[in-house]
Amino acid sequence: MKKGNILIIDDNQSILTTLELLLCGEFHQVLTLKNPNLIMQNIQTHQIDVVLLDMNFDAGINTGNEGIYWLNQITQNFPHVSVIMITAFGDIDLAVKTVKKGAFDFILKPWNNQKIISTIHAALKMSHSHQENQRLKNKTDKLQDLLQTPSIEIIGNSPAIKEVMAIASKVAATNANVFIAGENGTGKEVFAQYIHQMSTRKEELLVTVDMGAIATTLFESELFGHTKGAFTGANEARIGKFQAAHKGTLFLDELGNITLDLQSKLLSALQTRTITKLGSNRSESFDVRLICATNMNLTEMIQKGQFREDLFYRVNTIQIELPPLRRRGHDIILLANHFLKQYGKKYNKPSLHLSTKVQKELLDYAWPGNIRELRHCMEKATILTDSACIDSLSLTNTAPSTSLELLDLDLHEMERELISQHLQAAEGNLSKVASKLGITRQTLYNKLKRHNL
């Protein structure tokens, strides 16, 4: 398979035609230009790897300054592009000067066909090497914090959580796509990390994307990346989440929040295992292990025409249903003590423990906000306590409602009721509501729209 996109710039049409005929059988794409003012646009649009650049363009001027100017422009804006200068035999000293300024090499007129082809192939290897190094650098710079993720421990001994952990352990050893369902706050992201940690991809990155927080207009840029100048404000090229997660795991949270047209774009990428950056016409393959999650009933959404059935089956090779906290029995106490230890260290209050009365209150409470709500409750208790023994909790203030009537609602209705009561308690302060629920403002906006609140 031929590789490499080559751009030739010369004011002599016969030279352009000759080089195009010579190189078109060797490389993927060969483009020619007489006007150097179009260089930057063509490099961007056609994802050029190697440029063959003449030294002079204006008749009667042989200083080489024009060639040097455009060489500087290319190397400053597209450092991955290899530039080969085209020059006459008498300008060897000038050509050597361009190499010192960043040109990969130079060729002399008249040229040896085999020599020029070999030179371009060498320049192409240099360009691809530079692109790969830059991709790895971007990946490291943007996602360094993910490499420092601590070891994930699933806390709990209840039959409900042990059953889920057994399934997760089995599926982790494969590359099968995993779909994690469950209410808000049940620990879907933690389980995604747990699966990645036990997988053969554990040495690579786990990249997490909150699909509900991505604006529709930025969906393709966030997931697939964009080239420099692809749209207003795109001042530099950016890799997408699929590329960032290459060889690792990609976790798409809040999958049920994306619109049908964006579902189609995601499905297309998953089917072909390729993405195309915004502003590019080149498809790039990716290798990721996909984990998706949502608290929404996708089967119901499919029946209502709100979610694509083919996308559901694509992401749902193995489904894991996380149990709500109210069904995990004494795990509630184990988790509470775990959070107390964390926050005791954070707020310099060691040796905190729960009284028997408080433990009973925790076990009797419905926990509509699940583990996320319990964590918040323990942090609040840690901050407010004046003694090592926590003997009281304000559970009625921790959650908008402690009524067990919530258990009679389906998941959609429960979420609507929970958000509605938080809105009322926060007097419409969306930032406060989002913080209480442990979600982003954009995710909250999407949920408000979906529930007509």
pLDDT at 407: 52
**159-321 placed in CATH 2.60.40.1080:** no
Per residue, the 3-state secondary structure of 178-208, as one string, reads EEEECCCCCCHHHHHHHHHHCCCCCCCCEEE
User: How confident is residue 405, by pLDDT bands cut at 50, 70 and 90?
Assistant: very low
Average pLDDT over residues 230-240: 81
pLDDT at 443: 81
Question: pLDDT digits over 244-287, tens only?
Answer: 999 999 999 999 999 999 999 999 999 999 999 988 888 899 99
Q: Which residue has the higher pLDDT, 127 or 142?
A: 127
pLDDT at 143: 53
pLDDT at 194: 94
- Asked whether this chain's domains 5-132 and 159-321 adopt the same fold, the reply is yes
Position 122, amino acid: A
Position 212, amino acid: G
pLDDT reading at 233 higher than 90: no
Domain boundaries, the chain: 5-132, 159-321, 326-395, 409-453
pLDDT reading at 398 higher than 70: no
- Provide the whole-model pTM: 0.61
Which phi and psi angles does 260 have, rounded to 5°?
-60, -40
Neighbouring CB atoms inside 10 A of 356's CB total 8
Please give the full DSSP string across 38-61, using - where no structure is assigned: GHHHHHHHHT--EEEEES--STT-
Where is average pLDDT lowest: 50-54, 162-166, 325-329, 421-425?
Answer: 421-425
Three-state SS at 397: helix
382 bridge partner residues: none
Average pLDDT over residues 124-140: 77
DSSP state of 240: -
Residue 355 to residue 404: CA distance in whole angstroms: 24
Neighbouring CB atoms inside 10 A of 383's CB total 11
Neighbouring CB atoms inside 10 A of 136's CB total 11
Half-sphere exposure at residue 184, Cβ-oriented, CA atoms within 13 angstroms = 22
Half-sphere exposure at residue 426, Cβ-oriented, CA atoms within 13 angstroms = 19
Average pLDDT over residues 354-369: 92
Mean pLDDT of the chain: 86
Average pLDDT over residues 142-161: 72
The CATH number, out of the four listed (3.40.50.2300, 1.10.10.10, 3.30.70.1280, 3.65.10.10), of the domain defined by the range 5-132: 3.40.50.2300
Average pLDDT over residues 130-146: 64
pLDDT reading at 201 higher than 60: yes
Q: Kindly report the CA angle at 148 between 145 and 152, in degrees rounded to 5?
A: 120
Relative to beta strand 249-253, strand 178-181 is unpaired
Q: Kindly report the CA angle at 133 between 129 and 135, in degrees rounded to 5?
A: 115
Where is average pLDDT lowest: 113-117, 236-240, 362-366, 429-433?
Answer: 429-433
Question: pLDDT digits over 421-450, tens only?
Answer: 887 777 677 877 887 787 877 788 778 877
Q: Which residue has the higher pLDDT, 438 or 403?
A: 438
Question: pLDDT digits over 163-173, tens only?
Answer: 999 999 999 99
Residue 177 to residue 180: CA distance in whole angstroms: 10
DSSP state of 254: S
405 bridge partner residues: none
Helices (H) and strands (E) in the chain, counts: 19, 16
Residue 239 to residue 277: CA distance in whole angstroms: 8
Average pLDDT over residues 105-132: 88
- In CATH, which superfamily holds the domain spanning 409-453? Homeodomain-like (1.10.10.60)
CATH number of 326-395: 1.10.8.60
